[in-house]
Amino acid sequence: MSESRLRTLRDHIRWAVSRFHAEGLFFGHGYDNAWDEARALVLGAVHLPWDTADRYLDCALEDDERYELGVLLHKRIQERVPTAYLLGEAWFCGLPFVVDERVLVPRSPIGELIDARFEPWLPAAPARILDLCTGSGCIGIACAYAFPEAEVALGDLSYDALEVAWQNIERHGLEDRVYTVQGDGFAGLPGQRFDLIVSNPPYVDAEDFADMPAEYQHEPALGLACGDDGLDLVRRMLAEAADHLTEQGILIVEVGNSQVHVEALYPEVDFTWLDFERGGHGVFLLAAAQCREHQALFRSRLLP
């Protein structure tokens, strides 16, 4: 990059957009186009918010700012590092979260459900919520904002992920009612029941995982892939969910493209597949009664 001619924020955004297109970058970690991601990266690099007024875009950068920005742009273009990792921050449900390569970049369509307080699916405000496979904690923490009286557990197998989740609990000042639990699936939660269990588990099948763009290689494989059909963990979650839901509780799980595998594996189950106005697919809902009704079936389909 020729730094001598790139002086203003606008210059750098324009240059970045051009290079992003020329290099064929993939946009799937919080932004869906080159302009939005370039704006976020350039402004974030100088600690300005994404929605900074356009009149500031003609401000010139200092030499040290241009150098640091050049380093970040090189990593985004040449190494395909997602912008969220470069900035150490991502946004979800209008809230900022600490992120790094120990956790996935927040992007779940479940955020739309949280914004709507899970209406009309929840019969009442939940007293206890579980965010299983929490990663950065973004889903559970956003739920804590949506339901300010609720206790929220953030569960994950990865100690590294839970360290990031705890940073976000502290960042949002929620230590009094949000906590982390380490364990494989429900293993760390014996005897505990919740009014709402929500999960964005690893669900990418082997074929999709092999074809993922280079940007995804910076994310922890533990948070993405989960067996040939992507359902190794989902199978266990379904088999055990009835034991962890209250009488009127609900289970919401994102499985993305592996929806086809879920439907093929459990044709007897009437999953509610949720629709999203802002994009997204492959999120199912089951009521506690359905989890109890089909528990024997779910257990019969566990891998040997």
Tens of pLDDT, residue by residue over 13-26, are 999 999 999 999 99
- The owner of tokens 């499985």 is 255
Quote the CA–CA distance of 214 and 273 in Å, as a whole number: 30
**pLDDT computed for residue 3 by the predictor:** 44
Do 113 and 54 share a domain, yes or no?
A: no
Q: Which DSSP category does 216 fall into?
A: G
* Higher pLDDT pick, 237 / 208: 237
Tens of pLDDT, residue by residue over 181-198, are 999 999 999 999 999 999
Do 196 and 106 share a domain, yes or no?
A: yes
Do 72 and 128 share a domain, yes or no?
A: no
Give the HSE-up count for residue 151: Cα atoms under 13 Å, Cβ half-sphere: 9
Q: Exposed, middle or buried: residue 279 (CB in 10 Å: 0-12, 13-18, 19+)?
A: exposed
Question: 92 lies in a domain?
Answer: no
Judged by average pLDDT, the poorest of 46-60, 76-90, 238-252 is: 46-60
User: What is the pLDDT of the chain when averaged over all its residues?
Assistant: 93
Quote the CA–CA distance of 185 and 177 in Å, as a whole number: 21
Do 51 and 170 share a domain, yes or no?
A: no
**pLDDT computed for residue 181 by the predictor:** 97
Quote the CA–CA distance of 86 and 67 in Å, as a whole number: 14
| Cis amide linkage into residue 201, ω under 30° from 0 | no
Among candidate residues 44, 62, 87, the one where a domain is terminated: 87
Pairing mode, strands 245-254 and 283-287: antiparallel
Give the angle subtended at the CA of 34 by the CAs of 30 and 38, to the nearest 5°.
Answer: 80
% of residues, the chain, pLDDT over 90: 80
Structural domain containing residue 126: 98-300
**pLDDT computed for residue 49 by the predictor:** 87
Q: Exposed, middle or buried: residue 1 (CB in 10 Å: 0-12, 13-18, 19+)?
A: middle
- The owner of tokens 């002086």 is 7
Q: Quick one: average pLDDT of 115-136? A: 96
Question: Could you write out the DSSP letters of every residue in 256-280?
Answer: GGGHHHHHHH-TTS--EEPP-TTS-
% of residues, the chain, pLDDT over 70: 98
* Higher pLDDT pick, 215 / 174: 174
Do 170 and 232 share a domain, yes or no?
A: yes
Tens of pLDDT, residue by residue over 50-84, are 889 999 999 999 999 999 999 999 999 999 999 99
Which two three-digit tokens encode residue 131? Answer: 């965010």
Question: 41 lies in a domain?
Answer: yes
Among candidate residues 56, 87, 118, the one where a domain is terminated: 87
Do 123 and 216 share a domain, yes or no?
A: yes
Question: 121 lies in a domain?
Answer: yes
Among candidate residues 87, 120, 147, the one where a domain is terminated: 87
Q: Quick one: average pLDDT of 244-253? A: 97
Q: Quick one: which of 44, 39, 45, 15 has its CA closest to 27?
A: 39
**pLDDT computed for residue 19 by the predictor:** 95
Question: 75 lies in a domain?
Answer: yes
Question: 250 lies in a domain?
Answer: yes
Q: How many domains does the chain have?
A: 2
CATH number of residue 290's parent domain: 3.40.50.150
Do 126 and 250 share a domain, yes or no?
A: yes
Do 60 and 36 share a domain, yes or no?
A: yes
Question: 47 lies in a domain?
Answer: yes
**pLDDT computed for residue 203 by the predictor:** 75
**pLDDT computed for residue 2 by the predictor:** 44
**pLDDT computed for residue 4 by the predictor:** 57
**pLDDT computed for residue 216 by the predictor:** 86
Q: Quick one: average pLDDT of 275-283? A: 92
Question: 174 lies in a domain?
Answer: yes
Do 197 and 229 share a domain, yes or no?
A: yes
Do 295 and 154 share a domain, yes or no?
A: yes
Quote the CA–CA distance of 236 and 248 in Å, as a whole number: 21
Question: 119 lies in a domain?
Answer: yes
Q: Which DSSP category does 5 fall into?
A: G
Quote the CA–CA distance of 261 and 181 in Å, as a whole number: 29
Q: Would you mind telling me the total number of residues written for the chain in this entry?
A: 304
Q: Is the pLDDT of residue 1 over 70?
A: no
- The owner of tokens 């889903």 is 139
Do 288 and 200 share a domain, yes or no?
A: yes
Do 130 and 235 share a domain, yes or no?
A: yes
**pLDDT computed for residue 202 by the predictor:** 81
